[in-house]
Amino acid sequence: MNIHRIGSAVTVLGDQLEVPGIGFLDVNSFVLHAREPVVVDTGLGLPDRDFLNDLGTVIDPADVKWIWLTHPDRDHTGGLFSLLEAAPNARLVTTYLGVGIMSTEHPVPLDRVYLLNPGQSLDVGDRTLTGFRPPLFDSPATVGFYDDSSGICFSSDCFGAPLPTADLAACPDVRDISADALRAGQLLWATVDSPWVHNVDRDRFLATLRPLHDLNPHAILSTHLPPAIGRSAELLDTIARAPEADPFVGPDQLALREMLAGFEPAAQQPAAH
C-alpha cells in the first residue's frame, strides 16, 4: 500500500489491482484529519490485505469518529467491520439502501449507523461535509461529499481510470500521467463502471456536472484514480464526453480460455530412464 499525505487535511491509503485486459486500477481509501477524524471507505478484503494495520500507521483506529462509506461495493468495505470493532466510538455514514445491501452478508449495528442522503450535511467538529450524488456511479447507494474547509471533493468511483502501469497507478498526483492516457482511462472506466451513461439524455447528464463546476474543488479524490489537485475542470470536461464514448464489451468465454492458456503450467516431461 502507498500511503501519502495531501497537505494537512487528508492521508491517502493507496492500493491497486491489476485488471487483465484493462490496466491497473487504484483502490484508494482516505483519512480526513478533521477534529472528529473521518475514514473514507475501507479498501479491499483480499486475504493478503490488512486495512486495519495500514490505517494504524496513520491514526489510532480508536480515535476514528466517523466512517464514511461512499457505497457498499466490496472494494470499499474490505476493512469495514474490523474497523467498527477497533473504533468503538465511530459511527458509520451510509444510506438506507447501503445498510440493506451490507445486511445481506453481515449484521450492521444500526445503533452506530448515521443515514445521510445526497444534499444533507455532517458536522465533524471543525468542518462541514456535504453529501452529493456523483455524476457517474455504479451503485444507487453512492454518496460522495465535499469538504467545505479543505475544498476537497471525495467522488467515490467517479473520475476513475485504469492506468497502463502499476507505477502510474501508484503515483501521488495525476500530473504524472499523460493527458492522453488519463483521458482514455477515464472514458474507459466511465463505460465499464457506469454503462447506463450511454442511455441518458445528454443535456440532463451535463446538468449533473454543473454543481461540481460551480464548486471548482481544490482537489478531487476518487477511489479509482490518483489524487487530482487543481484539475477539476479537466476531469469534468472528460466525463462530459462519456455518453458518446465507445461502449465497453468485456472478454467472452473464448477470450477467457486464451487468457487462461497463457497461465497453464508446462506439460510434465516424462522422467528419464
Question: For 57, which DSSP code?
Answer: T
Does 43 fall in a domain? yes
Count up the domains in the chain and report the number.
1
- In tens, the pLDDT along 1-54 reads 899 999 999 999 999 999 988 999 999 999 999 999 999 999 999 999 999 999
What percent of the chain clears pLDDT 90, i.e. is strictly above it?
A: 90
Burial class (CB in 10 A: 0-12, 13-18, 19+), 63: exposed
Query: Which residue spans within 7-97 are E strands per DSSP?
Result: 10-19, 23-32, 38-40, 66-68, 91-94
Per-residue cell: 162 = 485504469
pLDDT at 261: 86
Question: For 68, which DSSP code?
Answer: E
Does 272 fall in a domain? no
- In tens, the pLDDT along 185-239 reads 999 999 999 999 999 999 999 999 999 999 999 999 999 999 999 999 999 999 9
Does 25 fall in a domain? yes
Does 271 fall in a domain? no
Instruction: Give the largest CA-CA distance in the chain.
Output: 78
Per-residue cell: 196 = 447506463
Name residue 27's amino acid: V
Show the domain range for 227: 2-261
Burial class (CB in 10 A: 0-12, 13-18, 19+), 42: buried
Q: For residue 154, give the CATH number of its domain.
A: 3.60.15.10
Does 179 fall in a domain? yes
Does 268 fall in a domain? no
Does 11 fall in a domain? yes
Average pLDDT of the residues in 112-141: 98
Does 267 fall in a domain? no
